[in-house]
Structure formats: C-alpha cells, structure tokens
C-alpha cells in the first residue's frame, strides 16, 4: 500500500482532520483569489479572508447541525425558516463587523470614520447584497461536501452490511447442504460394508476426494469450473457403486473454456437427480448431464427419469430451493433457473451469464 493511500485513508477515518483540511483549503483559495483584487497586498488579503471565513464557518455548522439536522430533520419547518433567517442575518452582520472593526484598522491610515455595530445591523440592503454571496457560497460548498460524504459513507455501510449478510446466508445454506450430502453418502458406504462388498474401499477413496474438495476448497465465493466438474465425476463414480448396469448415466461435457462458479451448486443438482431419480426408480433409471461454457454464459442441464406419477407431482425438493437462494445471492439478475416437470422426465436448467 502506498504512503499516499495510507495518508488518505487515515484522513478519511479522522473527522476533525477532514474539517480542518476543508477550511484550510477554503482559506487558501480565498487568499489566492483576493490577492488579484487587492493588487498583491498580502496583509490586506489575509486579514479580509480570515475575517470572512469566521462567519462562513459558524454559518456552515449552524445551518448543517442545527437548522437541517435538528429542525428540518424533525419536520419543524416553521422554526427552520425562522432560525435560518435570523441566523443568516446575524452571520452576514458579523462578517461586516469583523471587516470594519478588525480588517480595516490594519490597512487604513487613521484618522477614518467607522460605522457603529448598531449602524451595521441597520444596513440590511448592503449586508444582503455584498455579504450573503461572500459568506453563503462557502456554506453551500460545505453542505454539498458534507452530505455527499455522508451519503457515500451510508452507501458503503449498506454495501458492507449487505456483503456480510450474503456471506452469512451462504454459510448457512452450505451448512444445510453439506451434512445432507454427507449423510446420504455415508449411508451408501454403510450398506456396502454390511454386504462386505469389494466396492467399499473404492467408495471410501472417492468420498475422501469429495470431502477434500468440500471441506478445503469451497471456502471462497467461487471455485474453478474444472474442479467442480471433477467433483461431480467423483460423486457419480461413488454413486455408480450402488447400482448395477440398470443405471444409465450420460455426461456431455462441452466446456469450451474454464471459468469460475459458486461451489457445490452443481453437485447439489446432481445429488438431487440421484435422490429423486435413480434412488426412487426400481426400473431402468436414466440421468443425463450437459455442460456448456462460452464467453457469454454457462449452461448446466440435468435430467432424470421419474419413477411414478405421484413422485412427479411432489417434486419440490428442498435442494432446489437452496440452489435458487444461492443463485439469488451470488448472481443477482445474472441467472436463469428453469424446471421442467414432464410426466416421465424431470429437468433442471441453470444458465449463468458470464460478466
């Protein structure tokens, strides 16, 4: 991180420093601008600039923190107008008083006459013509900068809270998914072990690879598409151990280029197809998977045969609701989820628009 960036961030975090720097910048600008009008007389320019910046500062904080934050914010509009007029009148008169009583004696040669404070307050037309623009243009700049920065901070906080909320929700959704998948898989291995099946060691090997991916490689928001496809292959190989040749699985991998994807979404779709397809079909279940990825979009299509009519009508799996929540959180307005609940085939299509 550069020293300039560190310095900038330090200033942004310190409210008083920001205010001091703002008024120093205003003062320097006023001095440089007035030097031309005063023909290079630095003493005269500086004294006038300091005398004017005092009511500018007071008016800025008075209007911002009292009139706007205390009165207008609470919808006390009549009081707001009253105090705005009275306050404005006082500050422009104060500006004139400081010029007459402090600045003029510095650069004018005596003897000279000066208005009294009472006379200054009575010069209403003169005050509004010359001192309202001189004082309140800075007030408007202060208000604009203050509320712009406040708006920016509010938006940054909202974004931070939204990000934290999304992260928390995703962790919750993954926590719901992983134990569900693990339970099903361990149950499969348990059944194989009861039969003393020679497939048991191989199933444990496949499970270890899957757990390695789920436990250690899915902690980020995205994982590589190739690793997620490898996870699916291991899962399919693990599930094949449960079935004989009656299960038909077709995988069409038409990935043109690798990319990134939210972890475990594809796995949960595959797991859902096995659970509600092959797991409930005692006949000849079929599962078909098609994957496509181009510059424009990623497309995943998975379909499985449905055992019975009643099973088809009850197809509202929790896994699909989980997936839709994750897609909404990670890919807002960038995805499509289509479910085709045909009489004999259940198909889910996920389309994610690439950035």
Contacts by 232-236, CB closer than 8 A, 24 or more apart: 232/266, 232/267, 232/270, 232/289, 234/206, 234/209, 234/210, 235/206, 235/210, 235/267, 235/270, 235/271, 236/270
Print pLDDT tens along the chain (355 aa): 454 554 455 545 577 888 888 899 888 888 887 776 665 577 778 888 889 999 999 999 999 999 998 898 888 999 999 999 999 999 999 999 998 888 878 777 777 778 888 888 888 888 888 889 889 999 999 999 888 888 777 777 777 766 666 666 556 555 555 566 677 678 878 887 888 888 888 888 888 888 787 777 777 778 899 999 998 998 888 877 777 677 889 999 988 888 898 888 888 888 888 877 665 555 678 899 999 998 889 999 999 888 665 544 445 555 677 788 888 888 988 999 999 888 788 899 999 998 8
Mind listing the domains of the chain with CATH numbers?
3-158 (no CATH), 198-353 (3.30.565.10)
What are the residues whose beta carbons fall under 8 Å from the beta carbon of 342, sequence distance 6 or more? 306, 312
Residues in the chain: 355
Strands across the sheet containing 248-255:
248-255, 286-293, 297-305, 345-353, 335-341
The pTM of the full predicted model, rounded to 2 decimals, is 0.53
The three-state secondary structure class of 353 is strand
């Amino acid at each position: 991180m550069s020293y300039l960036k560190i310095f900038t961030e330090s200033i942004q975090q310190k409210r008083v420093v920001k205010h001091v720097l703002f008024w120093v910048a205003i003062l320097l600008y006023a001095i440089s601008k007035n030097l031309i009008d005063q023909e290079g007389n630095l003493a005269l320019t500086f004294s006038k600039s300091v005398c004017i910046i005092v009511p500018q500062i007071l008016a800025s904080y008075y209007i911002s923190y009292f009139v706007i934050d205390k009165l207008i914010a609470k919808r006390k509009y009549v009081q707001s107008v009253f105090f705005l007029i009275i306050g404005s009148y006082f500050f422009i008169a104060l500006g004139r008083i400081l010029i007459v009583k402090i600045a003029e004696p510095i650069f004018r040669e005596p003897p000279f006459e000066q208005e009294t404070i009472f006379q200054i307050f009575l010069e209403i037309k003169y005050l509004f013509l010359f001192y309202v623009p001189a004082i309140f243009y800075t007030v408007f700049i202060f208000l604009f900068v203050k509320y712009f920065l406040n708006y920016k901070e509010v938006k940054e906080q909202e974004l931070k809270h939204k990000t934290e909320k999304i992260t928390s929700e995703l962790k919750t959704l993954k926590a719901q998914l992983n134990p569900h998948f693990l339970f099903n898989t361990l149950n499969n291995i348990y059944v194989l072990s009861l039969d003393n099946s020679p497939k048991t060691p191989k199933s444990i090997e496949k499970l270890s690879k899957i757990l390695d991916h789920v436990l250690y490689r899915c902690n980020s928001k995205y994982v590589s598409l190739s690793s997620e496809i490898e996870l699916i292959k291991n899962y399919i190989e693990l599930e094949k151990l449960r079935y004989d040749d009656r299960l038909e699985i077709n995988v069409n991998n038409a990935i043109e280029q690798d990319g990134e994807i939210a972890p475990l979404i594809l796995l949960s779709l595959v797991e859902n197809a096995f659970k509600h397809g092959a797991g409930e079909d005692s006949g000849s279940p079929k599962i078909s998977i098609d994957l496509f990825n181009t510059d424009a979009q990623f497309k995943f299509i998975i379909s499985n045969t449905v055992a019975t009519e009643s099973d088809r009508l009850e197809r509202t799996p929790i896994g699909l609701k989980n997936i839709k929540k994750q897609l909404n959180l990670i890919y807002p307005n960038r995805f499509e989820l289509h479910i085709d609940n045909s009489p004999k085939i259940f198909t889910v299509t996920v389309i994610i628009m690439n950035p």
